[in-house]
Structure 1
Amino acid sequence: MKQEMSSVDIKYIVEELKTLEGARVDKIYQDKNRVRIKLHTTGEGRNDLIIEAGKRIHLTTYIKEAPQHPSSFTMLLRKYLSGSRVEKIEQHDFDRIVKLKIGNYTLIAELFQKGNIILVDENNVIISAMRYEEFKDRTIKPQHVYLLPPARENPVDILWENFRELISSQDVEIVRALARKLNMGGLYAEEILLRAGIEKTKRANALDENELKVIFEKIKEVFNAPKKANIIYKNDNPIDVVPIELKWYESYKKKFFTTFSEALDEYFGKILLESAKIERTKKLQNKKRQLEATLRKQEEMINGFKNQIQENQEIGDLIYTNFAFIENLLKELSKAVEKLGWKEFKERVENGKKSGNKIAQIIKNIDAKEKAVTIELDGKKVKLYLNKSVGENAEIYYEKAKKAKHKLEGAQKAHKETLKKIKEIEKLIEEEEKKELSVRKLEKRKKKWFEKFRWFLSSEGFLIIAGKDATTNEIVVKRYMSENDLYCHADIYGAPHVVIKDGKKAGEKTLFEACQFAVSMSRAWKEGLYSGDAYWTDPNQVTKKAPSGEYLGKGAFMVYGKRNWMHGLPVKLAVGIVQYEEEKLPMCGPVEAVKAHTDKYIIIRPGRMKKSEFAKKLAKILERCGYKVDLDELMQILPPGNSEIVEVIE
């Protein structure tokens, strides 16, 4: 089963991850050797990039609960990278190294061997690393210049002459030469030779020029193959995940994905889920195993005590059953020992066995020290003490049976207690398994086109959209405003551009709500104002043409001509779940607009609670109303700045 990404995998994933260039670093988390970077991409919203040292890098929807106390490395990464934008993502040569240029710093993901994650400054000097190490040719420690491992040939860019010279000089199997010298790994070396129709065990230096040319062509074919990400299954178990379709896996079951990130996330995410399940109950499972081992020993002891009771009871009964015989035997043997002494007695018994004496033959052992003989009686060995009566000999076995019975009762009691403890542990395991995993999968629904902006549905059913920043403000006006719409703007610097779609058909209520939305989604909210002014106008009056001698930056527009003003608009909104095209969406808009589309909503206004904490509070209230809302979706729709709840309508 695949455990880490290859250089080929990294080539393909880096091509995909380039879409993250321009994204803003929101938050950084670390769990053991995994770093997750929460990014915000304009127009898309949240993306989570996972980097697992020595293993993988891709976008993920499997989110592991962050530790309560962030590590010093996490805090340092947050300090240097939070709020900065991802400027460049690249693979170093064809190695398992990815560089992420973020602001003035570079985060280096080493995905080979044990791996590492290293932060360097603009001069390539190490600021910090997940793990400090020293090698023969480089040192990973603060204040040291970061040195890359020695580079190897890149199979994507290698020229024919260099390829021929390199491979022809290798006195090893061709599959090994390709895997090692061209840094492509065993799987892709096998794939290339399979496509080339050349035996993989053939010596590299024994190949003729035509064979080398075929291999060279197949290298270019494989590494320029169209992306067709898929997970490979064997007996319904995933064994590999690859960015292209391979001939090597032709007969295997496959599942295809739109992006390589999705395939990697599905593959490694399931591994993470399984490890989270094991980790969650690991201590309890270990305790259960210990108790089960104790239980087995107790069961062995119980069976042993039962056998002792039965055996000793049977021998005691056997002695009484053969009372007369044993009584006479004890008398005769006692006389013989008294007359001959133990040494000569033993000799006589041995001679008697040879001569076929029946009494001598039933004697199996003589113990002079204990003054006892062991005889065989009805297939059982019975030890008889010559200085004790028949009853006293029988009582010895009955006493042994009693002691074994007492021990049995103790063992059975301990066994019962162990069983009880196992059941308690099993109950705890069951309860733990019912709890939410520390790893959860973000179910990212396909968003509506307007959800990349601020938006709401007016009480009359008109769609109103607004920009979130300079980029989306530019897009709202240039791309999404048409001649049938209406334009709104608040009388405050930095307010969003608001567009009422098909607004020329809208009534007074929609115009009022759109203008109120423009004020509430402006800096007025952040500054804690309770009212503001806004206006609406025709789209033809909105232009990028600046007055003479002036320049309009990104997201800025000029409005010429008559403005239809509305004064003293309340800075107040509501949050609720509304139905739109058979889908339930979280919406933040003017109170009357939200009220028109749902009977459960929360009225909010500027306050003191931080936006992140406020979103959590709203999520709990909505969940109580029967709606499970993603926290990030709530964060996206809320106004800028701190808030407070005015009223909850349930």
Structure 2
Amino acid sequence: MKEEMSSVDIRYIVRELQWLVGSRVDKVYHEGDEIRIKLHTKEGRADLILQAGKRFHLTSYVKEAPKEPSGFTMLLRKHLSGGFIDAIGQHQFDRIVKIRVGDYTLIGELFRSGNIVLVDSENRIISALRYEEYRDRAIKPNAEYIFPPARENPLEVSFERFLELMREEGDLELVRALARKLNMGGLYAEEISLRAGFEKTTPVKGLSDRDLLKVYEAMLGTFNDEPRPNIVFKDGNMHDVVPIELKVYGGLEKKYFSTFSEALDEYFGRITVEKARIEQTQKLEAKKKQLLMTLAKQEEMLKGFEKAMKENQELGDLIYANYPVVERLLGEFKRATEKLGWEEFKKRIEEGKKAGNRVALMVKEIDPKEKAVTVELEGREVKLHLDKSLGENAELYYENAKKFRHKYEGALKAYEDTRRKIEEIEKLIEEEMKKELNVRRIEGRKKKWFEKFRWFVSSEGFLVLAGKDANTNEILVKKHMDKNDLYCHADVYGAPHVVIKDGQKAGEKTIFEACQFAVSMSRAWSQALYSADAYWAYPEQVTKQAPSGEYLGKGAFMVYGKRNWLHGLPLKLAVGVVNYEGEDFILCAPPDAVKVHAKSYIVIRPGKLKKGELVKKIKAILEKWGYKVREEDLNAILPPGGGEIEEVAG
């Protein structure tokens, strides 16, 4: 299974991602060996992932950011955040990508263990994921960044040079010669051989110059082939992800994608999710494994104690069951050892066994130290101490049985305790598996045209739009305000332009809500005003024509003629989930508008809570209602500045 991108993959992804040039870097996140760059592009949000030694592409799989950003994170944010991507490139045909943002370049080394290096305009290293020293270069602060020694670039090599390289080691097989001499992996070397019409094992010395010309042309054709990104499956499992259709994978199951980035994201994203799932439970799994090993040992101990307890009990009973025999043996053996001594006694027993003496044959072991003789009774060996009575000998076995019973009971308690711990861990693992992963996927959804603005649906069902900044204010009035609309504006400097679509059919309720939206989304909110004034006018009254001697910047317009004022509008908004055009949206709008369209809502007003704290509180309430929402999305729809929650209905 593929684990990192090839030089060919990087060539195709770099070409595909050229549309990101001009995008603004919003924020940079770092964890482990990867960084994620959150971008604002002409298409909206995009997340670019760069993982050392592995991959480089847009991603919809977003890891939960670490609570404490690393020093590397802070440094990257310092130099890159707010900047614009000026160039994305590949160094030669190597597994190295370069992202230039203003005076800085982020270099991703995707070979071996890889690295991520930030350099300045003079190519001096500012920081890196890892500081390392090699024979020919060093990755350390203030050192000049030097690329690894270059290898042949198959896209730039001439046919004459290609021939020279191939002939250098003519004994090599074609696939090995291509892979070794021209900086390509075995997969593409095999693909080129196949496209050229030769077996990959063909010795190069057996190919003519004309044959090698076919190989050369097949190589250029392969690396310039039309993209057809796909994931290749073997036996139902992901095997590879490639940017073009490969003959070597003919007959295998494939899943095609419109972009190579989507294919890479699906492939590596699924691996990331699986890895995150394993990481989420691996500590608990390790503890469970350890407990299972303990449990197995305890089971063996229990079996041993149970067996010993049973055997000792039975041997004690056996002594009493053979009372006359044991009593006689004890007496005879005791008199014999006292009269003859232990050595002579042993000798007499051995002679008796040879002679076939029945009593001697019963003896299995003699232990002078313990003054004991082990005899066989009913097929079982019983140790008899000659200095003890029959009852005392039986009692020894009963005492041993009692000791093993206590050990068994203690071991059983420990065994049950271990089983309980395993059950508890299994429940915890089950709970962890149910928990949301720290890797979530941002579902791709084509945004509605009105989502580039602040917006809501009035209580009477009219679409109301407002600018977010100078650029969207300009677009809203110039491109989206029609003659049948109404224009609204707060009597606050820098307030957003507000347009009621088809507003000339709207009632007073909608006009009130639109004007309330205008004042609430202005800086009057951050100034914690209780109320403010706004007015409405007709589209033809709004123009870019400035008074003589004045200039109107981007997003600024003049309103001529009568202004229809609404005074003392309360600064108050509500957050709720509203269904519009078949989709659910979390909106922040005038309370009356939200109450009509949402079952549950949260009313807010200007207040002392910082915006971040207000966002967290609203997010928590929405999650209780079953709505998952990102803090950054809530932050985008709320008015500027802090606030307070006045009412929660739901």
| TM-score calculated relative to the size of structure 1 | 0.87
| Structure 1 partner of 2:377 | 377
| Structure 1 partner of 2:165 | 166
The 5 Å alignment of 1:47-66 reads 47-66=46-65
In structure 1, distance between residues paired with 2:560 and 2:49: 51
| Structure 1 partner of 2:68 | 69
Secondary structure at the aligned position of 1:227 is classed as coil
In structure 2, distance between residues paired with 1:155 and 1:466: 53
Q: 1:611 to 1:23 in 2, by over 3 A?
A: farther
| Structure 2 partner of 1:457 | 457
Q: What's the offset of the Cα at 1:304?
A: 0.6
| Structure 2 partner of 1:34 | 34
Structure 2 unmatched runs, 5+: none
In structure 2, distance between residues paired with 1:458 and 1:398: 90
Q: What's the offset of the Cα at 1:293?
A: 1.9
Secondary structure at the aligned position of 2:67 is classed as coil
The 5 Å alignment of 1:280-319 reads 280-319=280-319
In structure 2, distance between residues paired with 1:625 and 1:184: 54
In structure 2, distance between residues paired with 1:330 and 1:596: 102
Q: Tell me, yes or no, if the aligned pair for 2:481 and 2:539 is still in contact at 8 Å.
A: no
Q: What's the offset of the Cα at 1:248?
A: 2.8
Deviation string 1:601-649 (CA, Å, 9 cap, x unpaired) is 4454555544444333333344455544443433333344444555555
Q: Tell me, yes or no, if the aligned pair for 1:107 and 1:117 is still in contact at 8 Å.
A: yes
Q: What's the offset of the Cα at 1:115?
A: 1.7
Task: Judge which range, 484-493 or 110-119, deviates more.
Answer: 484-493
| Structure 2 partner of 1:94 | 93
What letter is aligned with 1:81? L
| Structure 2 partner of 1:399 | 399
Q: What's the offset of the Cα at 1:561?
A: 6.5
Q: What's the offset of the Cα at 1:575?
A: 3.6
In structure 2, distance between residues paired with 1:384 and 1:594: 94
Q: What's the offset of the Cα at 1:303?
A: 0.8
Task: Judge which range, 377-386 or 332-341, deviates more.
Answer: 332-341
In structure 2, distance between residues paired with 1:504 and 1:427: 61
Q: Tell me, yes or no, if the aligned pair for 1:512 and 1:566 is still in contact at 8 Å.
A: no
Q: Tell me, yes or no, if the aligned pair for 2:482 and 2:539 is still in contact at 8 Å.
A: no
What letter is aligned with 1:209? D
What letter is aligned with 1:280? Q
Using the aligned pairs only, state the percent identity: 60
Deviation string 1:130-189 (CA, Å, 9 cap, x unpaired) is 221111111111111111111222334433333222233235333233334333323222
Secondary structure at the aligned position of 1:5 is classed as coil
| Structure 1 partner of 2:21 | 21
Deviation string 1:338-372 (CA, Å, 9 cap, x unpaired) is 55544444344444444544444443333333333
Q: Tell me, yes or no, if the aligned pair for 2:488 and 2:497 is still in contact at 8 Å.
A: yes
| Structure 2 partner of 1:142 | 141
The 5 Å alignment of 1:128-527 reads 128-170=127-169, 171-338=171-338, 340-476=340-476, 479-481=479-481, 496=496, 498-502=498-502, 514=514, 517=517, 520-522=520-522, 525=525
What letter is aligned with 2:532? S
In structure 1, distance between residues paired with 2:207 and 2:522: 71
In structure 2, distance between residues paired with 1:620 and 1:579: 21
Q: 1:215 to 1:539 in 2, by over 3 A?
A: farther
In structure 1, distance between residues paired with 2:93 and 2:355: 93
Deviation string 1:504-529 (CA, Å, 9 cap, x unpaired) is 65566656655665555455555666
Secondary structure at the aligned position of 2:283 is classed as helix
| Structure 2 partner of 1:531 | 532
Q: What's the offset of the Cα at 1:532?
A: 5.1
In structure 1, distance between residues paired with 2:198 and 2:414: 68
Q: Tell me, yes or no, if the aligned pair for 1:86 and 1:103 is still in contact at 8 Å.
A: yes
* RMSD (Å) for aligned C-alpha atoms: 3.5
Q: What's the offset of the Cα at 1:501?
A: 4.1
Q: Tell me, yes or no, if the aligned pair for 2:464 and 2:501 is still in contact at 8 Å.
A: yes
Task: Judge which range, 188-197 or 351-360, deviates more.
Answer: 351-360
| Structure 1 partner of 2:580 | 580
In structure 1, distance between residues paired with 2:603 and 2:251: 59
Secondary structure at the aligned position of 1:28 is classed as strand
Task: Judge which range, 137-146 or 228-237, deviates more.
Answer: 228-237
Q: Tell me, yes or no, if the aligned pair for 2:604 and 2:646 is still in contact at 8 Å.
A: yes
Task: Judge which range, 311-320 or 633-642, deviates more.
Answer: 633-642
Task: Judge which range, 97-106 or 390-399, deviates more.
Answer: 390-399
What letter is aligned with 1:283? K
In structure 1, distance between residues paired with 2:460 and 2:451: 19
Q: What's the offset of the Cα at 1:405?
A: 1.8
Q: Tell me, yes or no, if the aligned pair for 2:578 and 2:585 is still in contact at 8 Å.
A: yes
In structure 2, distance between residues paired with 1:602 and 1:488: 25
What letter is aligned with 1:24? R
Q: 1:154 to 1:522 in 2, by over 3 A?
A: farther
In structure 1, distance between residues paired with 2:20 and 2:304: 69
Q: Tell me, yes or no, if the aligned pair for 1:169 and 1:205 is still in contact at 8 Å.
A: no
Q: What's the offset of the Cα at 1:308?
A: 1.0
Q: What's the offset of the Cα at 1:451?
A: 0.9
In structure 2, distance between residues paired with 1:348 and 1:483: 130
| TM-score calculated relative to the size of structure 2 | 0.87
Counting matched residue pairs gives 647
Task: Judge which range, 604-613 or 117-126, deviates more.
Answer: 604-613
Secondary structure at the aligned position of 1:376 is classed as strand
Q: 1:407 to 1:166 in 2, by over 3 A?
A: same
Q: 1:215 to 1:349 in 2, by over 3 A?
A: farther
In structure 1, distance between residues paired with 2:550 and 2:154: 53
Q: Tell me, yes or no, if the aligned pair for 2:232 and 2:249 is still in contact at 8 Å.
A: yes
In structure 1, distance between residues paired with 2:284 and 2:401: 39
Deviation string 1:252-292 (CA, Å, 9 cap, x unpaired) is 33333333333322332333333333333333333322222
Secondary structure at the aligned position of 2:145 is classed as coil
Q: What's the offset of the Cα at 1:590?
A: 4.4
In structure 1, distance between residues paired with 2:612 and 2:82: 16
Deviation string 1:477-517 (CA, Å, 9 cap, x unpaired) is 55545566566666766555555545565566656655665
In structure 2, distance between residues paired with 1:623 and 1:399: 65
What letter is aligned with 2:128? A
Deviation string 1:450-469 (CA, Å, 9 cap, x unpaired) is 21233333444343444434
In structure 2, distance between residues paired with 1:639 and 1:185: 54
Q: 1:93 to 1:519 in 2, by over 3 A?
A: farther
Task: Judge which range, 297-306 or 79-88, deviates more.
Answer: 79-88
In structure 2, distance between residues paired with 1:550 and 1:123: 44
In structure 2, distance between residues paired with 1:153 and 1:160: 13
What letter is aligned with 1:21? V
Q: Tell me, yes or no, if the aligned pair for 1:116 and 1:130 is still in contact at 8 Å.
A: yes
| Structure 2 partner of 1:117 | 116
| Structure 1 partner of 2:635 | 635
Deviation string 1:289-325 (CA, Å, 9 cap, x unpaired) is 2222222212111111111122222223333333333
Q: Tell me, yes or no, if the aligned pair for 1:519 and 1:569 is still in contact at 8 Å.
A: no
In structure 1, distance between residues paired with 2:65 and 2:583: 31
Q: 1:602 to 1:358 in 2, by over 3 A?
A: closer
Structure 1 unmatched runs, 5+: none
Q: Tell me, yes or no, if the aligned pair for 2:490 and 2:532 is still in contact at 8 Å.
A: no
- 1:105 pairs with 2:84: no
